Amino acid sequence: MLLLHFVGAFVDVYLSFIATPVLTLPVCSGYPLGFSLVLGIPTNVQVYLGISFVGVIAVTILTFFEDRYHRLIHGHGSNGKRSWKRMFYVVIHYIVSVLFIAPGYLNIPDQAVGRAATKKTIPCIPDDVLNRPGYFVLSVVNTIPCLCLVFMFALVVPQGAYFVGSIFYYLFNTVSKSQTTNRLQKQFFFALCIQIFVPIVVLMFPILYIVLAIWFDYYNQGATNIALAGIAFHGILSTITMLIVHTPYRNATLSMFRLSPKNTGNNSQQIWKTVVGAHTTQHSVW
């Protein structure tokens, strides 16, 4: 969970402050406006990092549900063989998340040719946009970058759906534990699902616009900028959702601002103690 928060926060800082990309869809091109211009980071490196970070977030969400599934099914203990298999599984997926966009970099066009192709595809684009510092054309043909994104989507989504479905099945069909423990685990898992899936559902709209703009060769710079702003809004939305669904985080935040939250912290601690105590009792029985 901590890793998921860290990766999400880092990607938000990267997109909102370091890179601040401006895309000129439907061509896979654009330029940065962020602090990276001061740092002198090449635009092609920024694009690679930005796309890779999206893959890293997807894999981090996947491994979060995989870890939750493993802890529910096998408990906190694990034999050495299973631990190595899980470690290999996680490492391979993170390697893929960093390298999946690499084929799109094997045929980068000459930038002068790329600008000319962009002007031909988008005749109304101002020349000063094409001549901005750091303007970069990844590809004039969107087939390979789109296939890379489809591959990553096809790799992560089915596995994530499997783990989420398996967790739901386990929680609603397991009778070997107390009803109180089962109820608390369901509540906790529902809260985690809300925290993760609400930002994802909101992100689907700007991402869907970007995909459709590329697919139908549609150019609307204002709509593209709004879509990128919506993607950067992911961090704030995720934080607000976390504060709404998790009482301890909400109370701690309110106390930082010297507000007076309702006295629900003890109940949350009692719930945690109940879950841990029930889990320990099960291990002692077996």
For the entire predicted model, the pTM comes to 0.81
Share of the chain above pLDDT 90, in %: 44
Which residue is listed with tokens 């007076």? 260
- Residues 92-128: tens digit of each pLDDT: 999 999 999 999 999 899 999 999 999 999 999 999 9
264 — pLDDT class (breaks 50, 70, 90): very low
pLDDT band at residue 79 using 50, 70 and 90 as cut-offs: low
**Binning pLDDT at 50, 70 and 90, where does residue 274 land?**
very low
Q: Using pLDDT thresholds of 50, 70 and 90, give the confidence band for residue 35.
A: very high
What integer pLDDT is reported at residue 42 of this predicted model?
95
Separation CA 210–CA 22 (nearest Å):
12
Tokens of 192: 């985690």
The dihedral region occupied by 30, where left means phi > 0, alpha psi between -120 and 50, and beta the remainder, is left
| pLDDT for the residue 176 | 59
> Using CA atoms, how far apart are residues 160 and 66, in angstroms rounded to an integer?
8
**What's the rounded Cα separation, in Å, for the pair 2 and 219?**
39
285 vs 160, higher pLDDT: 160
Give yes or no for residue 67 having a pLDDT over 70.
Answer: yes
Q: Is residue 33 scored above 80 in pLDDT? A: yes
Go through 2-41 and write b for each residue having 16 or more CB atoms within 10 A of its CB, e for each that does not.
eebeebbeebbebbbebbbbbbbbbbbbbbbebebbeeeb
Residue type present at position 239:
T
Q: Find the range with the poorest average confidence among 25-39, 91-105, 206-220.
A: 206-220
